[in-house]
Amino acid sequence: MLAHRNELNTQNNAKCRRVNPSVSTSVFDAHAKSWDDYGSFAMVRTLCRDSNLKNISTLDLLVINVLLIMSGIAIRTSPYSA
């Protein structure tokens, strides 16, 4: 899971552990750089550094956490709104 903010990285990792407590996860950010577990939560700014890109593990799946903020009018008229 790739996020652009440390808060999202921390929240995503915590939620994953709550939903799947038996799945081990690791973190790749400014403080920890681990790909050792089943799933990893990474920070964009840390990952995109040349030294880190050279050492990246082979990825089976990359999930990018993106939040799009739309105006109220766009949300009400969007085909994706509930």
pTM for the model: 0.65
| More confident position, 19 or 58 | 19
Reported as a single tens digit per residue, the pLDDT across 9-36 is 888 888 888 998 998 998 888 888 888 8
Distances (CA, A) of 32 to 7, 70, 77: 15, 34, 42
Whether the CB-CB separation of 65 and 24 falls below 8 Å is answered with no
- Which is nearest to 11 in space by CA: 59, 81, 67, 55? 67
* Residue 22: per-residue pLDDT: 92
